[in-house]
Amino acid sequence: MVDRLTQRARGARLSVDLRDGGRVAGLWIDGEAVVTERVGGVLSWGSGVQAPWAGAIMDGRFQASGRSVALDRNYRNHAVGGTVLQRRCEAIDEFTIRSDFGHRWPWRGHVIQRHVLEEDRLTHSIELHADEVMPVTVGWRSWFQRQLGASDPVRIFADAGRTFPRFDDGIVSEFTREAFTESPKQFYEAMTGPTVLRWGQRLELWIESDLPCLGLADTGGPAVCVEPMSHRPEMLGLAPRTLVPGEPARAEMVWRWRRL
């Protein structure tokens, strides 16, 4: 049974872990690890899909179509990051993998992921498929190294229409901020451009996505977390997107980089 898929392009190498949600378990650019490798719990390393919900669902509970849903709580008192991050995936080909949502989600469905590495970019795409009507939100949870070698710590730049603080447990405040600040915990709506990560004069990486929201989290450790999302997490109970059989939801995220 295959546990990892590997791709190589000029100056770059990618490792995808099939045991832990098909996440990017390693990305090396000119030999330097940009994404954190396996450390801590399932929520704290690599870059993986958040589905069939993204972000933190308060107390692990929400209402959908008159139904009360209780999810397993996996971070403090909340349900974070969907089920796919903890599911084993099946390789369809060298680029494409599949995973069911599993028993921790009360509706049946699956996700198809595709990772394609090129010399100066990595393209991630996902399709969510439903066997029955269900509410969904989707996103990625990506942990990047705080420093590359002896570089300055990474700085993150984002442009958005609205900015909200995030609490330590990942819950998003309902009160907006005026504009982007380099706070360690933020949530953005109505993104107006790429998110840029810059490690001093060493490397710059752009994150471009068709998802309109973004979460940032910096716990002070050796990595920082960047989370493109389709919606605010608490919107799940309001059915911001209803997934129906035969009409998959799609999303894409592209990382591009250049040496400085």
Range 4-259: architecture per CATH: Distorted Sandwich (2.70)
Contact 80, 157 (CB under 8 A): no
Out of 154-158, 162-166, 192-196, 200-204, pick the least confident.
162-166
Please give the pLDDT value at position 38: 84
Residue 75 has pLDDT above 70, yes or no: no
pLDDT tens-digit readout, 173-201: 554 555 445 555 678 888 889 999 999 99
Q: Which residue do the tokens 């840029």 mark? A: 196
Share of the chain above pLDDT 90, in %: 63
Q: How far is CA 154 from CA 81, 119, 147, in A?
A: 24, 22, 6
User: Domain boundaries in the chain?
Assistant: 4-259
- Total residues belonging to the chain: 260
* Residue 30: exposure state from Cβ atoms within 10 A (0-12, 13-18, ≥19): middle
Please give the pLDDT value at position 190: 80
- For the residues 204-226, what does the mean pLDDT come to? 92
Token duo for residue 103: 């028993």
Q: How far is CA 90 from CA 87, 97, 99, in A?
A: 10, 5, 6
Phi, psi of 95 (to 5 degrees): -110, -20
* Eight-state DSSP code of residue 133: -
d(C-alpha 182, C-alpha 125), whole Å: 28
- Is the pLDDT higher at 242 or at 39? 242
Close Cβ partners of 138 (under 8 Å, ≥ 6 residues apart): 49, 50, 51, 52, 53, 54, 82, 126, 128, 211, 229, 230, 249, 251
Please give the pLDDT value at position 180: 47
Residue 117 has pLDDT above 90, yes or no: yes
Please give the pLDDT value at position 66: 76
Q: How many CB atoms lie within 10 A of CB 143?
A: 26
Please give the pLDDT value at position 129: 98
* Residue 201: exposure state from Cβ atoms within 10 A (0-12, 13-18, ≥19): exposed
pLDDT band at 21 (very low <50, low <70, confident <90, very high): very high
pLDDT band at 99 (very low <50, low <70, confident <90, very high): very high
d(C-alpha 22, C-alpha 96), whole Å: 9
